[in-house]
Structure 1
């Protein structure tokens, strides 16, 4: 990139909006890609030439217009809690940090309209004070921003009832295009699919409207099982139990629960465990259903303690990988979808082939309204070749893989690639938005 643009940008935005020091550029050019040893090896040293700290949409538009005129790539970031190198500037240029757009604009009946930098945990707290709550959120709840989740996530806690982001969990977004005069587009309905989980490659999201659910008092429960298959089957039965409100159903095989040191004393050594969030009145129903599968209640956190202490959701979804990495830095993970009608057979095939080289935990979710066993298996990592051998075996037995070891959207298995490419050509004619993350010909 040509030298000499820095002073012009400082004159445009102010010297407190552009960071050029090495420490800031290194720190804000990363996300949690180190979850993947493959990405960790390939993304080291990718650093932006400058970091823009935007605090309002005017500064976003000025930055995009400036970068377009100077042909400077722009990579957007929120809190940087993603796992796939979304916030890494592969071709240097500018990182546009939107965490300063952090105003809650409106909380209405059944919805919240917020700037993209609002943290999900804060929004949920405010919504619960008003008798509502988030429908879904990732395990990085405390740090992740609304815009970051929509732009780089998929599902999470609450997906057992409300599905993933594509299942009506984004109502509207304001998106800026990458042109000499950026357009502010209001996007709704099916058009949102071109911006969800697209890492800011098709437009810069500055404002998001999401639906809210009625406030529920959540009871947290650990149910222990001697048999992992029974644990997963219990999860399916609970998923179908319409009389029990649910936010989380996460069955885990042993020794995964051994990684959860903060709650280790409450967990039964050697037992599979289902980590649950269900409504406060569901205790007896959960215990009765668990008993039908040989399960026993092992630990409960009453609803009065919800969010006042470490919660069970802090050990689920991809936080399971985080706790595993703290105990064993040689592990990594996959993202997979098992077949609802033969997941037990697939579990047996995987365990028979790989044993403890692959450890399984599930999150039962609704995907397009259908109850589905989603999984983020923990993998004992040795080589990239062995990792992809495991991936190929999963796929050969009908387990769908969403590859978390690539930064390329087309290879990660999300969305309609053709539609994303068309939208990118329309909104980003020079291909300057987060280049390298989507296979694209200008």
Structure 2
């Protein structure tokens, strides 16, 4: 046992300092393998130590020790991200936050939690108190609050409430990585330097989420013989402010064929729309589906909401997971289409790439604007062909957020990267927080 290892044990106790190789390998991974490009890049990356602090004081002590020894630090929640956000590129210490798992305070319209708590626990407690989270990821049963804020963007609820940065995070508590770490209370615009920044600018220890009144949600599947009709139905439902909804997800056939747990209720050769709508609006949604030559073919009543099978498990990037289980040659992209020409954009892509590109939209709002947001499934052949497809999509006005890069500024965060870099220099002057995830400051990386 070396001196540094001994000091970690003194700070945390032996049971909370992990050096076992198989467990370090396991905890040093997330779902980056959705991308064949990232799979090659990250396969051999592993932390030297995994530590599990119980509170802010222990985190501050870990960071002080790491700075003194010039050792990089990466933060992990549940490891449900898809871009390698938690991968320790330069080894060092991986901080597992899952012992910090308390609900601190629930108020009308907000909930304050520690970063390591599972969002499923938060949602369950809120619904008991007649509230619910505005947005959460499809992985909410396992995903942690801090992991969602640091590495996520939107999810279930985004059709109404937008992304994390659309007022759904009210406050953050953050620890800096300096010789003497500071504890910051972050609000307002400054939160953009921490939301979806992969833990490069500070360690989030507490989050205040916006909440809303509990709604009784019906889950259902609408089926259509025609893809365009399924999309027009989705668009009309999304635009109708009278319909309360938590999710609208449109899947081109054969994507539904990959959903093995739903095979008994999926009709062959049908394009589907998966919805969560308020009970009292369900009949209206049925009427809208019929107006677009479709029908509701499966329903889960609100009495069974979040019990047993959840249709949210077949939306957002869960669709990629089901496709990979069925065909390991699949991967995905992420893109925003243009509302007034998305049908034209789809046609152009399908004409060029045919069954290499399967449409999957998760409709959402961003800053109040309705966005046809895509996580299409891609038949993967080579990296070069993948980036040819990306270039074509962007040439016709589709904004692609590249999920096949480890760099924050290349994955869609370029508009905020200058501010993030400045904040990193303030909070992490030695460049030790999650190094290798911001390319424009690679000269800061040490170790």
2:343 partner SS = helix
Partner of 1:140: 139
- Alpha-carbon distance in 2 for matches of 1:153, 1:71: 29
Structure 2 counterparts to residues 21-420 of structure 1, below 5 A = 21-414=20-413, 415-420=415-420
TM-score with structure 2 setting the length? 0.97
Q: Secondary structure at the match of 2:246?
A: strand
Runs of 4+ in 1 over 3 A off after TM superposition: none
Q: State the 1:264 CA deviation.
A: 1.2
* Offset, 1:4: 3.3
CA–CA distance in structure 1, aligned partners of residues 23 and 12 of structure 2: 18
Q: Which runs of 5+ in 2 are unaligned?
A: none
Aligned to 1:422: 422
Q: In the TM superposition, what is the alpha-carbon distance from 1:263 to its structure 2 partner?
A: 1.2
Q: Secondary structure at the match of 1:174?
A: strand
1:437 maps to what in 2? 437
Q: TM-score, normalised by structure 1?
A: 0.98
Shift of 1:3: 5.5
1:203-262 deviation per Cα after TM superposition (whole angstroms, max 9, x unaligned) = 000000001110000011111111111111111100111111000011111000111111
Distance 1:10 1:216 in 2: 47
CA–CA separation in structure 2 for the residues paired with 1:368 and 1:242: 15
Q: Distance in 1 between matches of 2:434 and 2:285?
A: 46
Quote how far apart the aligned CAs of 1:115 are. 0.1
Partner SS for 2:14: coil
Shift of 1:97: 0.7
Distance 1:31 1:267 in 2: 30
- For 1:38 and 1:130, how far apart are their aligned partners in 2? 44
RMSD between superposed Cα atoms in Å: 1.1
Correspondence 1:19 to 2:18: yes
Task: Output the CA distance in 1 between the equivalents of 2:229 and 2:31.
Answer: 33
Q: How many residues align structurally?
A: 441
Compute the displacement of 1:12 (Å): 2.5
Q: CA deviation at 1:45?
A: 1.0
Instruction: Give the unaligned 5+ runs of structure 1.
Output: none
Describe the superposition over 1:263-314 as per-residue Cα deviations: whole angstroms up to 9, x where unpaired.
Answer: 1111111010000000011121001111221111111111111112211111
Give the Cα–Cα distance (whole angstroms) in 2 for the partners of residues 101 and 428 of structure 1: 22
Q: Distance in 2 between matches of 1:404 and 1:255?
A: 22
